[in-house]
């Protein structure tokens, strides 16, 4: 059985019934599509008859704007209207290879729960499996159940077409099909997914470091989709190695000196730069208090090192 979904822009997304069965779930959400109309086409295998088949649509999630436009969680915001102090990834002067590669590992996330559709950010992680596994790091407060993981849609190379431009790059690619939930820890706010569909050509598998960050003052970089906008980056330092907030613990506390985070940045990677120039993921954004009007107020990130022992088998033999 195959389901096809299309919106007003004519793009068609295909999803197999097997993708639901593989997750042990007989129900699931379609990909998000643009426009006021949703066309659903059901294709049955030879020998199967429509009169013997039942398909129901018990819920609909209607976004206020196109899923390819920018949004802050479920609020209407246009591309380019995340906070004014955000740094467009395309504007960085003389970016290193490490920075460029890490940016290609970061994807915008759209997923659906019983409360509606939401935005977060995730990072594709390197591993030594052959073939390579499509491991994707984010936050448990974004996705912590298989039912929600099944709804995941990712947007790759969702960057501005030009520095501070108001259109997305022509290279932007949408990936549907959801993910397998491999790990979720709601106290530490960590989640590891495995994408059911391979990321597009050119996506980078980011480096990571399973050791804890050892000193305050360590320089860090955040790469994220604030308010679901095109990709941005923030620069700062760690000023707390083991802190807690809202019952989440332990977390890194960071302060920014350039850029901030917003809704939609949740789950995005916290990177340090290794001696060879590689950007290494060390955690994911839980949340915090930074705003353009309060840039030095702290944000909080999960610690990859704390859960690595429970997820290490996914990264290679």
The residues annotated as belonging to the active site are 141, 189, 266
Task: Give the Cα separation of 161 and 67 in Å (integer).
Answer: 18
| 129 backbone dihedrals φ, ψ, rounded to 5° | -70, 150
What is the residue-wise DSSP string for 91-144?
G-SS--HHHHHHHTTEEEEEEEETTEEEEEEEEEE----SSPP-EEEE-TTT--
Helix (H, G, I), strand (E, B) or coil at 20: helix
Task: Give the Cα separation of 292 and 73 in Å (integer).
Answer: 18
How is residue 199 written in tokens?
Answer: 């990321």
What is the residue-wise DSSP string for 196-265?
SSPPPTT---BEE--SPP-STT-EEEEEE-GGGPSPEEEEEEEEEEEEEETTEEEEEEEEEEE----TT-
Between CA 216 and CA 227, with CA 221 as vertex, the angle to 5 degrees is 125
Q: Determine contact, residues 140/283, Cβ cutoff 8 Å.
A: no
How long is the chain? 317
How is residue 177 written in tokens?
Answer: 């099909």
């Amino acid at each position: 059985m195959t389901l096809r979904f299309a919106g007003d822009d004519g793009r068609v997304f295909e999803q197999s019934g097997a993708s639901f069965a593989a997750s042990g779930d007989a129900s699931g959400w379609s990909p998000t599509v643009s426009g006021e109309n949703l066309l659903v086409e059901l294709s049955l295998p030879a020998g199967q008859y429509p009169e013997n088949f039942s398909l129901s649509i018990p819920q609909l999630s209607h976004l206020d704007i196109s899923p390819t436009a920018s949004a802050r969680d479920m609020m209407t915001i246009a591309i380019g209207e995340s906070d004014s102090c955000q740094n467009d990834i395309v504007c960085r002067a003389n970016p290193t290879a490490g920075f460029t590669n890490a940016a290609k590992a970061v994807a915008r996330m759209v997923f659906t729960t019983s409360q509606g559709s939401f935005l977060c950010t995730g990072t594709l992680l390197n591993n030594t499996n052959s073939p390579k596994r499509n491991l994707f790091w984010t936050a448990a407060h974004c996705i912590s159940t298989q039912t929600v993981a099944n709804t995941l849609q990712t947007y790759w190379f969702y960057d501005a077409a030009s520095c501070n431009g108001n259109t997305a790059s022509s290279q932007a690619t949408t990936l549907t099909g959801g993910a397998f939930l491999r790990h979720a820890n709601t106290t530490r706010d960590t989640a590891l997914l495995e994408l059911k569909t391979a990321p597009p050509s050119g996506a980078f598998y980011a480096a990571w470091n399973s050791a804890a960050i050892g000193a305050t003052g360590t320089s860090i970089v955040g790469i994220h989709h604030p308010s679901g906008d095109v990709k941005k980056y923030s620069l700062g330092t760690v000023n707390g190695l083991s802190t807690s907030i809202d019952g989440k613990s332990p977390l890194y506390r960071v302060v920014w000196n350039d850029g901030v985070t917003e809704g939609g940045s949740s789950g995005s990677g916290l990177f340090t730069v290794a001696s060879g120039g590689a950007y290494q993921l060390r955690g994911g954004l839980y949340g915090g208090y930074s705003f353009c009007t309060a840039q030095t107020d702290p944000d909080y990130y999960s610690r990859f090192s704390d859960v690595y022992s429970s997820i290490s088998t996914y990264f290679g033999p």
